[in-house]
Chain A
Amino acid sequence: MELSSLTIGSIRESLKSKEYSAVELTREFLKKIATTDKHVGAFLRVRPQALEEAKNVDDRIAAGQPLRALEGVPVAVKDNIVMHGEIATAASKILENFHSVYTATAVSRLQDNGALVIGKTNLDEFAMGASTENSAFQITHNPWNPALVPGGSSGGSAAAVASGQAVIALGSDTGGSIRQPASFCNVVGMKPTYGRVSRYGLIALASSLDQIGPFARTVEDAATVYQVMAGPDQNDATSRRETADDVLAEIHQPIKNMRIGLPKEFFGEGVDPEVAEVVKAAAKKFSELGAKVTEVSLPHSPQALPTYYIVQPAEASSNLARYDGVHYGLSNRAGGSLANLYRQTRAAGFGAETKRRIIIGTFVLSAGYADAYYHQANRMRAILRDEFEQVFTQVDLILSPTSPTPPFPIGARTEDPLTMYLADLLTVSANLTGIPAMSLPAGFVNDLPVGMQLMAPEWGEAMMFRAAHAYQQATDWHVRRPPAVA
């Protein structure tokens, strides 16, 4: 059984025809993880209970019940997304033994549709990072070259799908944390419109930026997972009432005359010329498919990254104040006073990047500086929103590289935080403005994957998936597999 070639659809067919059972399939995936993960390091924890859950799937099929959208499909879930009664660490020592008392809505929706969670994946601590190197527990290796990072913060989920350890995975994206690892690992990764997928059960990093989204090897599979998760949730006050279009119904429609814009600011300074070339070639392919490709301009987009590195640390400093050693998690009481409980618990429980961002966030919100930094950043967000809205009156989709560079070596950017922050250069705009965005395989530079990023207006996921699917039907970058592991 070639696990790396399986899709949601092929599993469905095989279960129907009894080529294999859900239990057999789950066993194969658990075996694959057991043999390969010592090299990849994608998983923090495996879920053997997926086998019992697989038995329920087989019982349902035997009883003649109709197959649900994700019946029997093995899914890996980023460890900042919680499941009832199970450990969720957000890759931090401060939550090393934390057991969640509820399950994230996104996960419930997958499970209610037959998906089987086979494990929790590695991430940068509290989703802060672009390489997964900030995990308190382990390094994840890029399946394409183990000396390189898989990207971050959802590096474990991206690597699991790329290496065939899972068919689909969930990640979270605050500034590019699904899209950039998708680009680095040659898989599809997508961030919905803000408010489209419930954040209930996602350990919060930046509440106005975070979204849960899918990883898959094909656009169609990513769209299926998205469809299952999308829609309002009364447990998330920021989730929006817009009903998700049936993206799967639209996905096969041709893209003739679709207008695609290439923003010149996303192909210039700070972007590797070879990466830019790969994406320009993809733009040509879109022209061949009948789309109208033009150049557009987003003049304030160079301000997006500085804006992001004010807003996100500010919100993070507020969200992470809850980790105080009082209610759950690590609790260092040696200091004898409440103040020391807070300070020493957090000193021991948080890694360097987490502390750095809390300090930056505290600074930009502090009296005397809040207007110049935080409020100015919010003004810039409004300017960027207007600018994108303007451009979307001229084009239907925006196309750019996802990452300014191909995957970089483990350890290459850990000394200078700013070099790591620059990895988010092209992805943060979508989070700041709330629009949906995705990355899909577009080619290779020196045998390393390069993804392209599509961005759509708010609620424009259907159009985005349509264009991405059309591209995948005409190309085969996404079919390439990394060198076999073990």
Chain B
Amino acid sequence: MIMIAPVRPPETGACRVGRRWRQARGFVAATLLNQPQAPTGPPIAAWKAWAFVGWLVLVTAVFGVSMLR
């Protein structure tokens, strides 16, 4: 029995755009987003994390104002 490979229809304009769009998204994801990582440890509580962020913002703001003086 002879197996015949399925016929692949020619790529239409919409398919080409969709393929390029998928390639672009993959490129952006690889460049800007975090790589899949090994587990980094237990997560930190949200309130502790936001307290740290608040301190960081406060210090940066005060420093910025002092430098502009």
Bound together:
no
